[in-house]
């Protein structure tokens, strides 16, 4: 399924326009109740099976993190705008005396990041109903001065649960650089506007087998 060919016009900035947390709702696409229920049921089954299948990897990773460096096994990252979700991941950085973590990646953390294992604990977020298996990339950024186009996208994203994987990620747009984030937003918008259960299945298969996933 290709990215929509139409390119949105670049709007002018909306100076001083702040994102109101009140726009965040618990509603998310698709609009029909059956589709929402089917997606949630799939998330529960997939997360449960995933935790069972990956339990040996989760155990080994937890032990390796404790042996490799001082600090907690997990890192919790607060995501404003999604009912204050605490995104759960394996800790991959060094812990300082004053901070939960620094930007220095540990040897074990480097392996966890390259293999994507650091994100497996997010299956717990899925079981809690805070995330979905497939959805827009979790994004904590909420700039105060942005364009009207970006405001619309933020409103759309916050109606949809963030995903462990997504249409942007499997196409290689998962990093945090400004250039990648702009392209990632385009792919996230396309996913939100064109969601279907088969689309989710395609994203999952691409996550497992595509060479483009997490390669950018």
Q: One digit per residue, pLDDT tens: the chain, 216 residues?
A: 444 433 333 333 333 344 343 333 444 444 556 677 888 999 999 999 999 999 999 999 999 999 999 889 998 887 655 556 788 999 999 987 666 666 789 999 999 998 889 999 999 999 999 899 999 877 655 444 445 555 555 666 667 788 999 998 888 886 666 677 778 888 888 888 888 888 999 999 998 886 665 543
Look at residue 25 and tell me if it is in a domain.
no
Q: Cα–Cα distance between 147 and 3 in angstroms, integer?
A: 22
Both 111 and 63 in one domain: the answer is yes
Look at residue 191 and tell me if it is in a domain.
yes
Residue 123: what pLDDT? 96
Residue 145: what pLDDT? 42
Both 146 and 112 in one domain: the answer is no
CB 81 within 8 A of CB 24: yes
Both 35 and 68 in one domain: the answer is yes
- Residue ranges with strand state E in 64-212: 74-79, 85-90, 132-134, 146-147, 163-165
Q: Cα–Cα distance between 38 and 81 in angstroms, integer?
A: 24
State how far the alpha carbon of 106 is from the alpha carbons of 55, 122, 142, 214, in Å.
Answer: 22, 20, 29, 20
pTM: 0.72
What is the pairing mode between strands 85-90 and 132-134?
A: unpaired
Look at residue 67 and tell me if it is in a domain.
yes
- Total of domains in the chain: 2
The token pair at 8 is 């949105």
Residue 159: closest CA among 123, 197, 192: 192
């Amino acid at each position: 399924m290709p990215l929509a060919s139409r390119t949105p016009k670049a709007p002018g900035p909306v100076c001083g326009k702040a994102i109101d947390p009140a726009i965040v709702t618990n509603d998310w696409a698709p609009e029909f109740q059956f589709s929402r229920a089917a997606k949630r049921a799939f998330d529960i089954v997939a997360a449960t099976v995933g935790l069972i299948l990956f339990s040996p990897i989760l155990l080994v990773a937890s032990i390796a993190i404790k042996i490799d460096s001082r600090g907690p096994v997990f890192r919790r990252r607060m995501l404003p705008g999604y009912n204050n979700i605490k995104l759960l991941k394996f800790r991959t950085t060094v812990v300082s005396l004053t901070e939960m973590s620094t930007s220095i990646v540990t040897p074990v953390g480097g392996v966890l990041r390259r293999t994507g294992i650091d994100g497996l604990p997010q299956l717990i977020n899925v079981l809690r109903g805070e995330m979905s298996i497939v959805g827009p990339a979790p994004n904590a950024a909420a700039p105060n001065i942005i364009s009207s186009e970006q405001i619309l996208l933020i409103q759309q994203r916050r109606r949809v649960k963030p995903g462990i994987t997504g249409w942007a990620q499997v196409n290689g747009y998962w990093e945090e650089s400004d250039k990648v984030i702009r392209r990632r937003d385009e792919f996230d918008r396309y996913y939100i506007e064109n969601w279907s259960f088969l689309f989710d299945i395609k994203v999952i298969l691409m996550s497992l087998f595509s060479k483009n996933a997490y390669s950018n």
